[in-house]
Structure 1
Amino acid sequence: MKRVVFAVPGSLDTPTGGYAYDRRIIAELRHLGWEVDYLDIGEGFPAPDEATRAAARALLAAIPAGRPIVLDGLALGVLPDIAAELASRHPLVALVHHPLALESGLTTERADALRRSERAALAEVREVVVTSPATAKLVASDYGVPAERITVARPGNDPVPLSAREPNDIPHLLSVGSVVPRKGFDILVSALAMLADIPWRLTIVGDLTRDPSEAAKLQDLISRHRLTGHIETTGAVAHSHLATLYGKADLFVLASRFEGYGMAYAEALSHGLPVIGTTAGAIPDTIPQGAGLLVAPDDIAALAAALRRVIVDTDERRRLSAAALAAARTLPTWQDSAAIFAATLERLA
């Protein structure tokens, strides 16, 4: 029996793309015949308190010697000492969704500390799995991981049954992502404030509890720009409800400051939505040229111009929609992604 431990900080039901990736890869590995033990090593990462750190060390130390461990980068990056302890008894795989130091809103000192810590932790593992070619390049160039130890296993995509999409009388924009600084919702709202002369409405879907301060700032910004009647924030929703929202939208927009992959962007492609995003991180890997309009991160004026162009031009929306569907057909399935991940685990033997 092929057996592996997936060590993840917190519940797999946490509503983020990273946890969704972990959840699906675990499920698909089981379909491939792997016995996968899911180990929740505690909440609060990447800033665990001492009690959480001690509990994580005890949980990981209890794993039988020799068993492979996949350690999610959200925790691994701040546990270099524990990684060193484990490496003497286990084959370790790091799963890096995006480098911790590239989270938005960090002080320079905090970002530097995270970069040093994650670099030290990655030096202890045998294999590193990342979710995009762009992240692979970062891990090699900035974190000193040899390219031959890095595997790209992009998130998979589920087939989406498509029906004829009729444009809404008022163009409906959809944005999906946890309300944290990295997702750039402040930039999006500021850009939309420049479009008061044309009709539109926006639904923001994403966890409002991960960063309550950022969620409060977002609501304040919406109020200050007098956009309360135009913008709805739903919080996290069930996958079935999210699929309905994708189906009713006219275009997708997300002004991320960095993405290690951008699962919401890929999901928008699968639903045939025109995509407006940024050039940050792996987003250009996910949204090929012609399938969306990408602008520099934090460029409010450029984002506003791209939004105006797609909102007012129905023909442009149709063109981008067709290109999005074509791009979606090139995306991997979850079965493809799990097969790549499984091959990495096989190499540990």
Structure 2
Amino acid sequence: MRDCAFAIPGDHRQKTGGFIYERRLLEELAKTGRQVRHIVLPAEAAAVDQSRTIRQQVDQILQARPADEPLILDGLVFGAMPTEALAQLSCPVVAMLHHPMGLEHGLSPTQSRRLLAQETANLAKAAHIVVTSDHTRQTYIQLGADPERITTALPGYDGSRDLPRLDTGPRILSVGLLAQRKGHDVLIRALGQLKDLDWTAQIVGKTHDPSVAAELASLIDGLGLVGRISLAGELSDAALSDAYRSARIFALATRYEGYGMALAEALCHGLPIVTCATGAVPDTVGDAALLAPVDDAEAFATQLRTLLTSREARHDLGLRSRQLGRTLPRWADTASVMGGVLDALQSRP
């Protein structure tokens, strides 16, 4: 069983999909008896445009790693690192990738091209690549990754499954960062077309971009939905579990997901889902969701109306959701896949 280091930028206890994945992977790898060194990098190491000072700090920390100890490297840091700096590391690097940085929403065309070119060049410098979905695996293969050096380790979920519902009426739940990519603006516009129906909605997620948060609050007010849609911010694990249990429908109008951990959690809670046909989403939700095109509030509203007005449709989709949720891995399974990757590196010359 091979020891390793895991380099993560900033506070790994943040409640976003990527940080939850890395924190739980770090914890589960350690539970197996493997020595896992947590390397805390500056939070700015994940920035699209790093300062020279931050680049020097990151280089100094990572170049100090022993040559015989694999380094699991956070995907944002991996994508942001200059290729020449990555090439100077003597230790084998396992890149932990969620989706290409250059495909993130909100980037300028110049930034997108630069980041995609850099990450494509960086792929050749990784001893192995671990991704969170088969869709993301194919995305990186198209960017030039060697199919023999890329492995999928689906996110886990350790919470209880098939818990009894909490009856709070027709509540719609959405979970995701207040960021452009999550499409909460589309959800709000869709709900604005459903004022004739009985529902309340809760959007759970920390503020990633203050301008997006302000835009969402303004949109809720402008559409006359204050009191019907709440921006709940970040919740504790217990409160989030209660939010899933008290929801009747899960809705995420996302513009792109490399996997969709909130969608998977909705499956584990047996919720019927409305979301968008983008990225890995169709693979993640299977036949347990109604899908709408990206950025189409009218189509999203139509799918929501179906579930809000048809008990049969909700029951059928909820049954499929529960069945799929039972098949999803736990975090120990995710760590087992990563452990296999680390141990296979040991046998290489």
Where 1:194 maps in the other structure, the secondary structure is coil
1:310 positional shift:
0.5
Task: Give the aligned residue type for 1:124.
Answer: K
TM-score (norm 1): 0.95
Task: Give the aligned residue type for 2:180.
Answer: P
Q: Note closer, same or farther for the CA distance 1:146–1:161 as it changes in structure 2 (3 Å cut).
A: closer
Task: Structure 1 unaligned segments of length 5 or more: list them.
Answer: none
In structure 2, the partner of 1:282 is 280
Q: Distance in 2 between matches of 1:228 and 1:241?
A: 22
Matched, 1:151 2:148: no
In structure 1, the partner of 2:79 is 77
Q: Distance in 2 between matches of 1:164 and 1:335?
A: 25
Matched, 1:43 2:43: yes
Matched, 1:318 2:309: no
Contact kept? 2:183, 2:295, Cα under 8 Å? yes
CA deviations on 1:122-148 (whole Å, 9 max, x unpaired) are 11101000000000000001x200111
Contact kept? 1:2, 1:33, Cα under 8 Å? no
Matched, 1:31 2:31: yes
Task: Give the aligned residue type for 1:14.
Answer: Q
1:224 positional shift:
1.1
Q: Distance in 1 between matches of 2:129 and 2:163?
A: 39
CA deviations on 1:69-94 (whole Å, 9 max, x unpaired) are 011111110102321111xx111110
In structure 1, the partner of 2:54 is 52
Q: Distance in 1 between matches of 2:108 and 2:225?
A: 31
Match of 1:216 among 189, 195, 214: 214
Where 1:77 maps in the other structure, the secondary structure is helix
1:46 positional shift:
2.7
Contact kept? 2:264, 2:325, Cα under 8 Å? yes
Aligned pairs for 1:190-229 within 5 A: 190-208=189-207, 210-229=208-227
Contact kept? 2:41, 2:58, Cα under 8 Å? yes
Task: Give the aligned residue type for 2:233.
Answer: G
RMSD: 1.3
1:7 positional shift:
0.7
Percentage of pairs with the same residue: 39
Where 2:226 maps in the other structure, the secondary structure is coil
Contact kept? 1:102, 1:111, Cα under 8 Å? yes
Q: Distance in 2 between matches of 1:166 and 1:237?
A: 17
Contact kept? 2:94, 2:129, Cα under 8 Å? yes
Task: Structure 2 unaligned segments of length 5 or more: list them.
Answer: none
Contact kept? 1:26, 1:36, Cα under 8 Å? yes
TM-score (norm 2): 0.95
Matched, 1:125 2:126: yes
Q: Distance in 2 between matches of 1:166 and 1:124?
A: 50
Contact kept? 1:77, 1:122, Cα under 8 Å? no
Contact kept? 2:65, 2:91, Cα under 8 Å? no
Q: Distance in 2 between matches of 1:339 and 1:195?
A: 45
Q: Note closer, same or farther for the CA distance 1:325–1:161 as it changes in structure 2 (3 Å cut).
A: closer
1:175 positional shift:
0.4
Task: Give the aligned residue type for 2:85.
Answer: I
Q: Note closer, same or farther for the CA distance 1:308–1:35 as it changes in structure 2 (3 Å cut).
A: same
Contact kept? 2:307, 2:314, Cα under 8 Å? yes
Where 2:88 maps in the other structure, the secondary structure is helix
